[in-house]
Each structure stands twice: as C-alpha cells, then as structure tokens.
Structure 1
Amino acid sequence: MAKYTPMIQQYLQIKAQYEDAFLFFRLGDFYEMFFEDAKRASQELEITLTSRDGGGQERIPMCGVPYHSAENYIQQLLAKGYKIAICEQTEDPKQAKGVVKREVVQLITPGTVMNGSLIEEKENNYIASISDFKDGSFGFALCDLTTGEGRVTLLTGEWQDVLQEFAAAQAKECILEPGLDDTYKKDLTERFQVTLSYEENSTMTDGLKPLVEKLEQEKLTITFGRLINYLLRTQQRSLEHLQAAEYYQPEAFMKLDIHSKRNLELVETIRTKGRNGSLLWLLDKTVTAMGGRLLKHWIERPLLDCEVITVRHHVVETFIEQFFEREEIRELLKGVYDLERLAGKVAFGNVNGRDLIQLKKSLQQLPIIIETVKKLNNPYCTRLAEAIDPCEPLAALLERGLKEEAPLSVKEGNMIRDGFNEQLDQYRDASRNGKTWIAQLELQEKQSTGIKSLKIGYNKVFGYYIEVTKANLHLLPEGRYERKQTLTNAERYITPELKEKETLILEAEEKIVDLEYELFMQIREEVKTYIQSLQEIAKKVSELDVLQSFATISEEQQYVKPQFSKREIQIISGRHAVVEKVMDRQLYVANDVYMNEERELLLITGPNMSGKSTYMRQLALTAIMAQIGCFVPAEEAVLPVFDQVFTRIGAADDLVGGQSTFMVEMLETKHALSKATQNSLILLDEIGRGTSTYDGMALAQAIIEYIHEKIGCKTLFSTHYHELTALEKELNQLKNVHVKAVEENGQVVFLHKVHDGAADKSYGIHVAKLADLPDQLIDRAQEILIQFENGKQELSPVPHIQTEESNRKEDTIEKDASQTAEEPAQLSLFEAEDKSVKKKYSSQEEQLRKALLDINLLDMTPLDAMNTLYELQKKVKK
C-alpha cells in the first residue's frame, strides 16, 4: 500500500465515509478533488485534469474549482444526479499544528438543493422515502426541504401503486432502507432516473417527535423518520422549518395513473416535456411562486369531496363577479415573495439581507390583502382572511433594523439602519467624523505647504497616507513627515495626527462590520420564531392565488360553473380547453356530450384527423377541471364526480421495459379494466390496431363487452373497426356516435362535429391525400379498396412502373415457362395476365416481387396497405 502524505491520508479517511459522492476538499481558495473523483469531475465539468505528488510512487490525479464560484459546478453535478460532500477547514491554518482539521459540513444531493438553477420557483423539489414492510404494505413519504412541507401515506396495494405515487411527486431523490428488493431499486432508477440514497435510522428522537405527532400508525412514523434522519445527517443543522408530516390517503383524490397524466398532458406535453401546451400552462394565472406550486398539486390530485369542490366553485364565482376586488388582490399578491422558501432559508442559515427585505415587503402587503379579501361577498374568503396573521411585530422589526438596499453579503456591513443600535451609531459617527477630519486635514496640509497636488489617500496594505510628487518634496517641512512608501513619481508619508485618526477610523470600521453581522444574526434568530406563522400565511395566500387564477382564466376563456349529478353527463358546446387556447377560438368546433344510465358507453367512429381523440380528451380535462374547483369550457356542464380516469390514447413503445407498442397498449388497457369502478371514466382509442385485423377486432369487441357487462362505467371507445357498430343492437347501454365528414369534389372535409349513429365510411385514403402522398399511390389504393369492398379475394396486377433504371437495363420477359400459382390467401400483385407466361426478373424486381408475395393483405388495415405500397414504390424509384 502506497504511503501518502498526511494531507492525502486525511482526504482518503474522509472520502471513505462518502464513497457515493464527489468530495469537494477545501485547500486554500479551491475545492480540490483527487483520484477517481478528479477523473470523473474533469469529464463531467470539462475542467483540466492535473496531478500532484501525494507521497506515493505515482502522481495523484487532481482537479479543482475556485470556492467562490463552486456553486455553478455543484449545480452541474446535481443536474446529472450526483452528490457532493462539502469538506471545509474547521480550524485556522495559522494556529494548526500539522494538517489543518477538515470535516464535511454538508452533503448536497438532488433532493436537498436549497437554491440555485435547479430550483424552479413554481415547482416543488421533493425528496421521497419508501419502506417495504414485507406484508403487502409500503410506506411512502415526501419532503420539500426548500419549503419544509412533508406528507406520508401507507399503500396496501401493489408495488405499481408506489411507482404511481412516486411519478406524481416527480421526486429527485429517494431514501431507501438498505435491504429493499433489487427489483424495486431497478424500477426506480430505470423509470425515473432518480438518485437513490440509504438510511438505516428511522427512530424519531424526542426533539423530532412533534414532526410525527399527527401520525397514528407506526409504519408512517418509520417511513417519515427515515427521511428526516437522512436530512439531518446530511445537512448537519437543526432544520427548524420542517413542518409536521401530513397523512394523506390517495383514495381521497381522483386517481390518475402515469399514462393518463401523460396522455392528457396535465402538467407537461408529450412531445416537448415542457409546461407550454399543458393544462397547467393554461390555468396558471397565479402571481406568486407559492400559488404556482399549489396549482400544480391541485391539478395532479383532483378532489372527490363534492362539498369542498363546491366551496371552491363559489369562491371562483365571487372573484368573477367582483372584478375590481379581484384585480386589486392580484396586484397586491405580486408584492408577496415566496414566504415558504424564505422561511426555509432562515432556518437553513443561508438567508441574506435582501431576502429579509423581501420578507418585510411581503408582510407589509398582508394587512391590505386581508381587508380587500374581506370585501368579497363570500364566507369562505372571510374565514381565509381572518386566519392570516400579518406578523406586524416582525414587519416592524425588519423595517426598523434593515436598510432598504441591503447587500448580498452579510459579512461586509452596510445592512443595519442608523438608530437601530446605539453602539453601532457611535462607531459610525467615529468613522464618518474621522473621514471628515481627514478631508479637512488635506486642505490644511495643502495650505501650510503650498503644494496644491498634495492628497491624502487610503489602501488596505498601507492604510492612510499623504502623497507628494517628487517635484514638490523640497516644500515639505523637516521632521514632521515620516516616509511610508516610495513610488516612481511620488513619496507617501504619515504624520502623528494622521496615524492617530487612522487607528480610530479603522478600528471603528472593523467594529462596525463585526457588530452589523452580530445584529443581523440577532434579527435572523427573531425571524426564526415566526417560521410556523410564515408557513401558515403561505398556505392561505397560495390558496387565494390559485382561486383567483381559476377566476381569471375562466372569465378570459368564458368558462361556466359546472353542476354535479350522480350518473349523468350533459355538456353543451364543450371544448378542449388547451386546444382552443392554442388555435383561433373562432375556428374551434364545440361538441356536446350526453351520457346517462342508458348511454354508459359511446362507440366513436370517424376518419383520422377528424377530432375523435380531441373529443375524448376534452371530456376528461373538463372533469378534472371541475373537480379541482375551476370552471369548465362549455356553455353548460353537468358531470358526475369521477373517482378515476383511465386513458389509452396514442401509441408509444416502452423501450426501457422492452415492450412493443401493442404490449404497452394491452398493459394499459389491463390496468384500466382491473382498477376501474362504476364511478370511473375510461377513454380507449383504437384498441387492437397493433395486431392483425381479426385479432384486433376480436379484442376490441371483447373489451367493450367486458366494460359493458362487468364494470358499467362511463366509457368513450373510438375505433376504425366499423363492424363493431353492430354492437349497439346487442348491448343496451352502448350508443354509436361518429365524427362527421363530407366529400366535396373528391375531397374530404372534416366537420369535427360529433353526431349520433355510426360513420358511413372510412376516409383513410383521403387523409393520405391530405398528407400529400404520391398521386399514383393514392389512385392505386383506391383501386385496391374498391376490390376489397366488392369482396374480391384477389387483386388485379399492378401496372408496370417505368423508371429510368429499368429503361436503361431494358429487362426482357421470357415466355418459355408458366408461373406457379401462389396459395389462395396470398395475393400476388405482379402476376402476368397470361398465367402460362413466366417472367424473368432483375434482382431488384425479384426483391420487390418477394416482398409483395410475403404481404398478407387480409391482415392489414387500409392505412397499413397504403404505407406498405408507398415504401415499395420508394424502392422502385431509387
């Protein structure tokens, strides 16, 4: 084993405790990394890899970053899922005997970031904890360290239910017990690319018990305790802003699985994975960061309690009716900063003067907000306003104590107002008067010496000095001036009087900085006593913000207040909230939806691009909007309260799971069929298209029958299998509806209007024409379609396609042999009219011929046939 220097040995000892983290090892003005850390960091951060002598035979790999700009590098590593252990010098190097003492003062992980570019103001930064109790139950806890909020639940279903909760939280890190099943770990890392961490200690000490006092089950305490102990161990501070864990039951909210949230684009779009174009983007008229986070939480967890929903609707209605009060509240809320995260900074110890000025300004807005909210004619709003404590003593303290333009640094002074502390005022007076005296001294020296260019200056190395150019040195009186520094063109001096004042001024300025820091710490400690009050204010303010946001978008987009029924859906002129916002409102075609106990299942037919999927999605989005407390896009809306929404819309492979589009489709369908109740909503789009025509049709019919007979929930089922429309005669709660399209001069026109009854035909070839596929292909597809519709088993041969290549080759056809017929079910598109004639093909034609012979047209949809023909034609044209 190599013998390393004492400093490298110290590094290795500390690194052994943080093997899964980059160790930022403080050396002077740099954080250094060594060995494998250095190699990886140089690649990830694109910084230079060097080396140093560590006492062994070979030089040690090394790289580093300046400590004053380390945050940027830390953010880069965190964004990639890494952990960073910050190792600081814990003693003064001047007083150290041997190696300076060092220890890790904080472990920064993706789930424990407190500031920086990774913290989105309207997004929570959750860290999760999962416990497997080996009895079919799992504990699941969440905490946002930036806000202090914590939640915990007990899941008694399958592991898949845990994944659903984890997906909803979008946690950046997950704390596990060391013995968790490897399969579960693999699911978490492969599906969510989450950082995994481990904590054995789940015991809550007496000081932490208030955080779990509301939890009645030991399993919940264990799960939340593991999370809290990890945070305390890694952050190494008290974390006084952590709030008591709230127990929640997933059953109290509408269930939306991962696939449904994705398909409905609730908080992000499928294509870009961004907010723009999502329901969250549409509804977000909040003006505070706290309100934005709460809005996202509400969208992901629609309510089931009709009374609570109705209260929200009444508040939205009040905000719409009292426009001027709403606008005044919106303006006032713009002056309220992120109270939750400000409280977190105070507890964490990284709050600065500007943060506290933001807190002061926020508190000063509260009395006006309270009075304005009380003007609303709504009892709930009145109770909400009365529950807000404006913390007037704290606001007064901050107003009296802090300067308006406080600096970012808390160790450079210039934060505390004059008059706040008598001792500080005395120091400042000495400093200010001393500088005035120096200015007067400069004038006196100029007059007494007659040197007009004489000046008194200051620098940190030499202090105060009198500077005289060399040309004027002969004018100085002898014996009074003591040389201090020689420059190229001047000399600098000190006098006894200047030296005395220098001592007074510098001592005062040093004491000012130290005392200001001490006073700031006292103010911060006082703010800490208000943390719980600030968090309660944040909850009330964010709720007001979300409700005014609902009112603002509802008025802007002309939404209506929904009514609730037991089983009936009656939507008049309903719209897709996001689509109508993106496109010209005047061009959007509204549609009605009517379902009751005799119309439980709507079978939707119609051409592609006609709006079937939009029609289905808009019903689900309307239901979700209603159950979060927002008004809905319609002229009238009556809805039941849905306990779950399941969607199977769109096609996508699960490459990570190694599953085809069809397998994903079947698994998602199975999930809906196994979980849905009579009070659920199911949306199924084109089920069965991933397999052969007859297989797909059989599956689709069986699924329809199962939902109709076994579940009985509201269902929208779109299909291209027109044969399924006959089920209306057999299933008394199934009704056919179709999206209307008409032909004009050979062109299809989509009306995007849903009518009762089945579609009269498919328009797949017309859609292909709209996509600008080659005319020759379109004509040929029409011929094939006509023959299929006439019930022919064989198709006429394809006319020979002349290409430049075939003309150059001048291929000939020999007629010395007859062609062997293929099996009846296999169609040959290159058969000669005279079956006794045998063709001689080029190698290219032979490949095309073989490809065509291998196609089973009876197992293809018209669209599949069209795509296949197009691909073959491309090969011919090459």
Structure 2
Amino acid sequence: MPEDPVESLIRNIDNKLAARDLVPSRRQYLELKRKYPHAILLYRMGDFYEAFDDDARVVARDARVTLTSRTFGRSGRVPMAGVPHHALNYYLSRLLNAGHTVAIAEQMSEPGKGLVEREVTRVLTPGTVVESALLPAGENRYLAAVYDVGARIGIAWVDVSTGEFRLMELRGEDASERLQEELARISPAECLIPEGFPYELVLSQSHATTVRRQNCDPQVAYQLLCKHFGVRSLDAFGCHDAKASLGAAGAIYTYIEQTNPSLLCMLTSIRMECAEDMVGMDPATRRNLELTRSFGTGGSRGSLLGVVDQTSTPMGSRAMRRLINTPLRDLQEIRRRQDIIEPLVQMPQVRARIANQLVQIGDLERAVSRCTQSGSTLRDFLSLSSALGHVDSLVRILSGTHQQALANLASSIDTCEDILSRLQMAVAEADDGSPVILPGFMPELGDALEELRSAREWLARLEQKERERTGIRSLKVGYNKVFGYYIEVTRPNLHLVPREYVRKQTISTGERFVTEALKEVESRITRAEDAIERLQNEAIALLRSLVSANTRRLLATAQLLAEMDALVALAEVASRCGWVRPLVDDSDVIEIRNGRHPVVESSLEGERFVPNDCYIGGNWPRVLLITGPNMGGKSTYLRQVALIVLLAQIGSFVPAESARIGLVDRIFTRVGAHDDLARGASTFMVEMVETATILNGATERSLVVLDEIGRGTSTYDGMAIAQAVLEDIHDRVRARTLFATHYLELTTVAKKLPSAQNVHVSVAEERDHIVFLYSVRPGAADRAYGIHVARLAGLPPWVAGRAENILHALSAGTEGESTRDKEDEGANSLVSKVDINNASCHLAKHLFEPGERYTCSENPLPVKISAVKTLEGSMLAYQGVLEGFEPSRSELEGVAEDILDTDLACLSPVEALQKIEEWQQRLRGMRSDL
C-alpha cells in the first residue's frame, strides 16, 4: 500500500528537526510546518511572507513570483519564495484560486529582542474564505462536500460568508450523472470528498480535498448539527432519512471546525433541497446557453446574467445568479415571483425608490459575516448599523404600494429594530468620519477617553507655556517610542534651561529634558490609552456577541432583501426591454409569439431584432426540424426558445409579445463543437457523449435543443446518426425538440414523422448576393448558401469563384476532361464508393434534391459527383469521380469584369500595384485556359 504523502512529509520534517545544526529560525519554521502539513505555510519575515522547501516551488509557480534560495547557517541553503506583506491578498487570491490551502504565520513579538515569536493566525482554504478582499462581490464562494451511502449520493454546500447552508440527496441509477449536474449548478470553490470516492465525479467542477470517512459519519453528523442548532431533531429542517447528505454536512462542519472555528456561528440554519423541484440542466447545457459566463468575454458580459443583472447590491447580484442557475418546477413559487414583478414593472417610481434604499443597505449578508469574525472592527459595526437603518424605509415603501404581493413581502421582512437600536447606542461616526464608541454604551470607556483628551490638551498648552516662562522661543515638546515625551532645547539656549528640567537625552542639535509634571501626564496618557484599547476590545466583543446571537434573524432579513433586489432588477429589465408576463402552467405546450433572444437583442444597440414564433407540444408538432444557411439565425432561434423557457421558470417576464410555457422538467442543449483532449475525447466524441446524455435523460416533459448533430464525422456517418437521433426523439423520447441541421436530406424524413414539422430561416437573393432575413418560416430550406457565407467571411474571391464552378459542376452531374490530370502524367481518373467528407464537396452537398445521398473521394483534388441507382433501404450509394482543376470561362469573365469595374482614378499607386498583383495571381491559377 503506498505511503500517505502527508505522513511522508511529516516524517521528512521530523528528520530535519532532529538535526543538531538547525538555526533557531529554521527550527521554528519546521515546527510550524509540521502542524500544518496540508497547507502552504507563509512565514512572516520583516516586510515579506516567505515560503520554503517544496512550498516555495508551489508559491513561485502558482503565485507567479521568483524562486530564490536562502542559507540558514549550517542548516544549508533551501528554496525560498516570498510575497510583500502589503500585497498579501493579491497573491493569496492566486494561491486560493489554484486550489491551495494557506496557513499564515505572523510575528507575535517585536524584532530585535532575540528570536521573533511566530504563530499561525489564519488558515485559508478555497472554500472557507471570508475576507472581503479575497471574495468576488457578486458571486457566492461555496464549500461543498459529497458522501455516498449505498445507492445514494449526498451533497452539502455552504457559503461561510453569507451563512447559506444546504443539502441534497440523490437517489437512483443516474445519481452520478445528476451529481455532476448539481455541482455544475453550485460551482463550488472547493469540494470535500471522502477517501475512496471517485475523484472524476468532482474534479471537473472544483478543487477536491480528501477527508477521512469517519468525518462523514451520518450519526455523528446528526448529533453535531443538533447540538449546533440547539434542537433535538433535524426533522424540522427536512433532513429525515437523509443519511448521505447528513454525512456530507458533517464533513463540512468538521472541516470548518478544524480550519476556522469562528465561522461556525454563521451556520444558523440548514435547508434541504430536492432535485425534483428544479429544472435539470447538465454542464453542457449551462455552458451552451451562456447563462452566467460568455464564450466571447469569459465573464458575465455577453451572458444572460449580464443582461438581467441590474441589481443594486452585491447580495442581490448573488441572488440573481442563483435564480438563473436554478429554474423551478414549482408553479406556486413561479407565480409568487411574477406577482411581485408585475406591479414593479407598472410603477417605475416605486421601483426607483426601492432601488435607492437597496443601494444604501449594500451587502448586508457579508456585513453580518464580518461582524461575527474575530477581526471585526468598529467600522464593520457602523456599516451594519447604517445598513439596518434603511430597512424600515424600504418596508414602508413596499407596504405603501397597496399591492398584495408586495405587502406580503414587506410583512415577512424583519426590520431588526431592537438590534439597530443597540448598535446606534453603541457606535457612531465622529466628525472626522472615524467610528467611535459612544459614552453611554460603556461609561468606563468614556471616562478613559476624557482622561486622554484632558492630558493631550495639557500637552498642547505646555509648549507655549514653557516658551513664555523660559524665554526659549525654539523650545519644542515632542514624543518618540523609545524615550516617550520630552522637551527639546537647542544648544544656544541651554543656559536658559530651568533647574527643574531633568536631562534625558543628548542629540546633535541640543538636549532633551523631562519634568515631573511631564512624566505624570505621560503616565496618565499611557494608562488612558491602555484602558481605551482594553475597553474598545471589550466593546467590540460585546457587539460581536450581540450580532452573533442574532445572526439567524439578520441573515434571514438579508436573504429576503437580496431576493427583493433580484426581482426589482428583473422588473427593471422587463420595463426597459418590453418583456411580458408569460402564462406558466402544467401543460406540455410551448407557445411563443414574436420571441426574441434577450442577449442578442441587448447587444444590437438600437437595431431591430427580428422576432420569431415557436409552437411545439400539445396540438402542435413536438419536433421542429430547422434548416437554412449559416449566419441565418438558426442558433439564435434555438437558444432564444430555451432562454425564454428558462426565464419563465425562474418567475421572470420574457422577451416576447406573448408566451405560454408548459413546465419543463429538464433542458438539454447540444450546440457547437469543442474537444476535451486532456480526457482523450475528440470533438466528435464530446458531441456523441452529450447526445447520449440527452437520449438517456430526456423525458416527455423535457425541452431538447440540438444543433448540427453528426457534423464531427464523415457526412455519410453523420447523416445516419442525425436521422437515427431524430427518429428516437420523435418515436421514443417524445420531448419537445428543436433540431437544427445542414443535412437537407433529413427534411424528407421529417415529412414522414407525424409529430415533426419542417421550418427554415429565410433569405432573399439578389443576383449573386443574399440577404439574411432572420425569419423562421414553415417548410424546408432548399439550399445552404455556404459559398455566400464564405464570401462574407472574407474567403478570397478567386477561391469562392472556383468553389461556385465546382458546385455548379457537381449539381449538374457532368463529367469533363481533367486538365490537371493531363499535366500529371501518373494521374488517372479514379472512381470509388466512399463517404462524403471532402471539404469542397461538403460545400456542395446541400444543393441536391432532398432525399438523395452523395459521396466523393477524400483525395485533395476537386471532385465531381454522379449518382447511381438506389440500394435497398433508405441509404443510397454513389460514385465520386476525381478530376482536374478545370477553370470555366466564367472565372475568366469574373477577372475581366473586376478589371473593368475598377476605378483607377480612385486608387493610389500602391493600391494599383496590389490590384494588379491580385489579378495576376488569379490568372496564374487559370494558366491552362490562357
């Protein structure tokens, strides 16, 4: 059995500690490292935090700093990497994002008096960060855990900065697949997995940390949580018969207790979620629909979140992200949200007033979190007091609308007036903007502050008084940390020094003195400052206890306000963009009239978006087969339907003239092409895995969006797979499906399927040009317009022209003599039965009549196709004739026309030369015809 790497590391450290020639600082480092073998130890040395040995190599690599080395006397030279103390958070974020645990050892004693004492004061892991500087304001940072009991898999996740703590139990044969779906939804920063649990189920979603299985014992976890929440049973939290998820919750509780126990006070409640209450979406669907992250920008800009996130607070932004990631199947909750949004859409002034109050409240969730931590400051409590001061005003605004849904929401918000009153009695903002403890909260502190103020006023008067008394105009009263307060007199005035002055220090410009009165005042100041520091710490501890005791109430209020913020933002978007309230019911109908893509429309900057209808399910066809050219709008249409359904099921208004959405249980998409080479999966393999997931997981209540199935392999194979998938979805799965394809031959298949219908995105032709109309019409497309799109993409005109000639020849099915075969003595005409996968043939294959199949050679030379008779069954076989590059007269005419159309008067000499060079290149390709 291989040795545990942690045990090996500890043994290695023990061997080093046994060495007699270790210098004290090296021994101190190794002793601290032994206590935290799992973590990178950042060891404070002056103005830097240093890492040594293997930790230094990791820090240099992942924090992107220079790897150096240091000699510790006879201990030898060891690798070292350091980061400046003032930029610690910047480098910490890099290490945490890379998945590392970091222990920070601070200096606990003053340098210069022997070996500096050091202690680890913080242990940070990717999932237990609460420092504001290390947290993304608009995102939750979850710590998750998984645990399996038999056929069950439990998930638990917590955001220690907001107190959100949730569980889920997955059962059945597809539990592993659903686990990956849920982890993709939660997107944890760190995931705890017990020993022996399959790593591959979580590695793609987060950083995995292995924990001992005894830390996941469900019975122990049950007792821990009951004790923590002060209850005798967890049944009230919905945790009855949830052994797997309780085991995961126990792993989280134990992990937090070991790394940062002060965070446990944020765990005020636990909530059981049910996967059946939410719309299922696998990781590919979330990625393809660009719900929270755009392919183009890599962030939220360009995603659905980027459009709807008009929130006023970071906690509202986090709530919006949760809404988008968790569409519902609960009609009652969906309609409750709609009932809140609708009056807000109709009352823009009320909406603006609510948003203004939310801005003043800010991030109440994390403000509560900061106030419960050991490092909390008076500023944190002042901020919390200020935020709570605006809650009552917001509640009054909601109540004053006389709208039942808003009034119900207002009545559920606890304004926490008693907590606010105590905070306002304790802390306030001074004239200079600094937070201060009010005298009434702690009378002793007030007395100490008054004593300090009195002593400093005496000092302020002392300098002028002594100048007048002694006649020394340059006399100064000063202070330093070593000698304390003093009176300084320059050398020329030393003869004027009074007898009661006691010399304390000689300096280059004169002497420094003290008096009995000055020493007495210094003692008063020292006593007052010590008392103030002690009493302020006591006051902060009292305030921390106040907030910690009421964390559940404060977080409940914060969560309602965060949801309020998200719903106000949805109302703002609906009002600004002309969205409507959809009818969401329990039918299996999707009826969208003049629907629009929310993201594309928002990016048009005033240009008109062409809307389209979608009618599937119920008495309508259940499958729409969509054909048409690239760039024509097929992918936009597919995604806009899926996004409209998703928006409806989070309770939002939707971008359409009207919409009726029958609840969907899952949304599946298979869009685009990408590979996963690290896992040995080609583009086509990824495509097939995603397609298999859809066919195995979709039900009659699902929405399936498929774009270009089968394009990752040869056309013959791809067409067969696409037809088989289409037939299976139609005959067995029966899901409401949008199926886009370039295989025009499938349109004849769709005609034979009773619950399928052909539609196409239309174009208008003007001579040799096409205009995309972006309109979805009934019927099948007759052409793919691939060469036209290639021209728009910037394909050189002579290449596009040559492609058109090949296309015309292939379409006509004619055969001619190959000029290139004549030039190449060894070349002969070749006929073979092969798949259609030649690139030039791929451009042409859509131009043939629907229902036919064409094949060509993989030879890189151009191919001419001729059909042969139909074989048994639905598939056909053809012959591909390899022929030479034979330019037609039309290409020569194209060059001539280009020359005649060029206005030489408008060209510079350089541009004229470039034109001539272009014409020569085109003509050289036709040399055989000249």
TM-score calculated relative to the size of structure 1: 0.87
Distance 1:813 1:543, change over 3 A: closer
Q: 1:224·1:245 contact (CA, 8 Å) conserved in 2? A: no
Q: Distance in 2 between matches of 1:755 and 1:62?
A: 67
- 1:53 paired to 2:67: no
Segment drifting more, 308-317 vs 237-246: 237-246
With over 3 angstroms needed to count, the CA separation of the structure-2 counterparts of 1:30 and 1:729, relative to structure 1, is closer
Aligned twin of 2:94: 76
AA aligned to 1:216 is: H
Deviates more, 1:541-550 or 1:154-163: 154-163
Amino acid at match of 1:560: V
Q: Give 3-state SS (helix, strand or coil) of 1:750's partner.
A: strand
Task: Output one character per residue of 1:289-332: Cα deviation in whole Å (capped at 9) or x when no partner.
Answer: 11111111111111111222112111111111222222111100
Pairwise CA distance, 1:160 = 2.3
My pick for the range that moved more, 86-95 or 424-433, is: 86-95
| 267 and 54 in structure 1: CA distance in 2 versus 1, 3 angstrom threshold | same
Per the alignment, residue 489 of structure 1 pairs with 509
What is the match of residue 260 of structure 1? 285
Q: Is residue 764 of structure 2 the alignment partner of residue 745 of structure 1?
A: no
- The question of whether the paired residues in 2 share the 8 Å contact of 1:567 and 1:597 is answered with no
- Residues 1:674 and 1:40: Cα distance change in structure 2 (over 3 Å): closer
User: Is 559-568 or 40-49 further displaced after alignment?
Assistant: 40-49
Residue 766 of structure 1: aligned partner:
788
SS at match of 1:749: strand
Q: Partner amino acid for 2:592?
A: I
Q: C-alpha distance in 2, partners of 1:612/1:853?
A: 30
Distance 1:548 1:185 in 2: 41
Give the structure 2 partner of residue 843 of structure 1.
Answer: none
Residue 153 of structure 2 is aligned with which of 118, 122, 138? 138
Match of 2:136 among 120, 132, 143: 120
Is the 8 Å Cα contact of residues 353 and 407 (structure 1) preserved in structure 2?
no
2:154–2:246 Cα contact (<8 Å) kept: no
CA drift at 1:728 = 4.0
User: Matched residue pairs, number?
Assistant: 822
**Pairwise CA RMSD:** 3.3
Map of 2:905 onto structure 1: none
CA distance in 2, matches of 1:668, 1:743: 36
Deviations 1:229-257 (A, max 9, x none): 11111114362111332111111111111
Deviation for aligned residue 1:361:
0.8
Alignment partner, residue 519 of structure 1: 539
Q: 1:111 to 1:818 in 2, by over 3 A?
A: closer
2:845 alignment counterpart: none
Give the match for residue 852 of structure 1.
861
TM-aligned CA deviation for residue 820 of structure 1: 4.2
Confirm or deny that 1:562 pairs with 2:579: no
- Counterpart CA distance in 2 for 1:744 and 1:647 is 35
Residues 557-609 of structure 1, C-alpha deviation per residue, up to 9 Å, x if partnerless? 00011113513332221110110000134331111112243411111111111
Counterpart check, 1:630 vs 2:649 = no
State the partner residue of 1:185: 199
Between 418-427 and 777-786, the greater mean CA deviation after superposition: 418-427
On the 8 A contact 1:127/1:171 being kept in 2, the answer is yes
Residue equivalent to 2:467: 446
- Structure 1 residue 610: Cα displacement: 0.4
Shift of 1:689: 1.8
Give the 3-state SS of the residue equivalent to 1:742 in structure 2. strand
Which of 641, 658, 663 aligns to 1:619? It is 641
Superposition deviation, residue 17 in structure 1: 4.5
**70-79 or 305-314, which moves further after superposition?**
70-79
Match of 2:631 among 605, 609, 624: 609
Residue among 178, 196, 204 paired with 1:161: 178
Alignment of structure 1 residues 666-677 onto 2, 5 Å:
666-677=688-699
Runs of 4+ in 1 over 6 A off after TM superposition: 89-96, 99-102, 853-862
| Alignment counterpart, residue 789 of structure 1, candidates 807, 811, 814 | 811
User: What does the per-residue CA deviation read over 1:787-827, in whole Å, with 9 as the maximum and x for residues that have no partner?
Assistant: 222234x4653679xxxxxxxxxxx969xx78644235589
Greater shift after overlay, 332-341 or 767-776? 767-776
Maintained 8 Å contact 1:406/1:414: no
- Distance (Å, rounded) in 2 between the aligned partners of 1:360 and 1:122: 22
- Map of 1:292 onto structure 2: 317
Q: Which residue of 2 aligns with 1:456?
A: 477
Give, as a single letter, the amino acid of the residue that structure 1 aligns with 2:159.
Answer: D
The 3 A distance-change label for structure 1 pair 178 and 795 is: farther
Identity of aligned residues (%): 37
Contact persistence 1:603–1:718 (CA under 8 A): yes
Instruction: Give the 3 Å change call, closer, same or farther, for CA 546–638 of structure 1 in structure 2.
Output: same
Quick one: which amino acid aligns to residue 754 of structure 1? V
Are residues 1:15 and 2:33 paired?
A: yes
Amino acid at match of 1:682: V
> 1:52-104 CA distances to partner (integer Å, 9 max, x unpaired)?
33654x334445556665444333321222111234578999999xx888664
Q: Secondary structure of 1:597's partner?
A: coil
Tell me by how many angstroms 1:50 deviates. Answer: 3.1
Q: Which residue number in structure 2 is paired with residue 331 of structure 1?
A: 356
**1:536 aligns to 2:560 (yes or no):** no
What amino acid is the match of 2:515?
T
Q: In the alignment, is the contact (CA less than 8 A) between 1:336 and 1:362 conserved in 2? A: yes
Provide the rounded CA distance (Å) in 2 between the counterparts of 1:584 and 1:26.
Answer: 52
Secondary structure at the counterpart of residue 335 of structure 1: helix
The SS at the match of 1:204 is helix
**CA distance 1:439–1:136, shift in 2 (3 Å):** closer
TM-fit CA distance, 1:659: 1.6
1:818/1:581 Cα in 2 relative to 1: closer, same or farther (>3 Å)? closer
State the distance in 2 between where 1:38 and 1:738 align. Answer: 60
CA distance in 1, matches of 2:750, 2:802: 34
Q: State how far apart, in whole Å, the 2-side matches of 1:502 and 1:103 are.
A: 33
- Of 20-29 and 430-439, deviating more is 20-29
Equivalent in 140, 147, 150 of residue 162 of structure 2: 147
Structure 1 position 15, deviation (Å):
2.7
In structure 2, do the counterparts of structure 1 residues 861 and 334 end up closer, same or farther at CA, with 3 Å as the change threshold?
farther
What residue in structure 1 maps to residue 458 of structure 2? 437
- Given that 1:482 and 1:493 are in contact with CA atoms closer than 8 Å, whether structure 2 keeps it comes out as yes
Distance of 1:849 and 1:684 partners within structure 2: 28
AA matched with 1:562: P
Task: Specify which of 400, 403, 406 is matched with residue 428 of structure 2.
Answer: 403
State how far apart, in whole Å, the 2-side matches of 1:234 and 1:420 are.
34
**Equivalent residue for 1:581, pick from 588, 602, 623:** 602
Letter in 1 for 2:211: Y
SS of the residue 2:436 aligns to: coil
Q: Which residue of structure 2 lines up, in the alignment, with residue 216 of structure 1? A: 240
Aligned to 1:368: 393
**TM-score of the superposition, structure 2-length normalised?**
0.82
Q: 2: distance between equivalents of 1:88 and 1:819?
A: 79
Distance 1:302 1:821 in 2: 60
Alpha-carbon separation, structure 1, partners of 2:879 and 2:654: 38
Determine if the alignment matches structure 1 residue 226 to structure 2 residue 226: no
Tell me, in whole angstroms, the C-alpha distance in 1 between the residues paired with 2:467 and 2:545.
Answer: 51
User: Residue deviations 1:380-401, cap 9 Å, x none?
Assistant: 3222212222222221222222
The answer on whether the counterparts of 2:143 and 2:158 sit within 8 Å (CA) in structure 1 is yes
Counterpart Cα distance in 2 of 1:474 and 1:405: 45
8 Å contact 2:335–2:651 — kept in the other structure?
yes
Q: C-alpha offsets along residues 154-198 of structure 1, whole Å, 9 cap, x if unaligned? A: 112242221221121111111111222xxx314533x24624232
- Distance of 1:458 and 1:100 partners within structure 2: 26
Task: For 1:272 and 1:104, locate their aligned partners in 2 and report how far apart those are by CA, in whole Å.
Answer: 39
Q: CA 1:819–1:638 in 2, change beyond 3 Å: closer, same or farther?
A: closer
Amino acid across the alignment from 1:52: T
Out of 428, 435, 459, the position equivalent to 2:449 is 428
Deviation at 1:262, TM superposition (A): 0.8
Structure-2 residue corresponding to 1:170: 187
> What amino acid sits opposite 1:23 in the alignment?
L
Structure 1, unaligned stretches of length 5 or more? 801-811, 830-847
Q: Summarize the Cα distance change of 1:31–1:464 in structure 2 as closer, same or farther, 3 Å threshold.
A: same
Q: Give the CA deviation at 1:520.
A: 1.9
Distance in 1 between residues matched to 2:480 and 2:777, nearest whole Å? 85
Residue 405 of structure 1: CA displacement?
Answer: 5.5
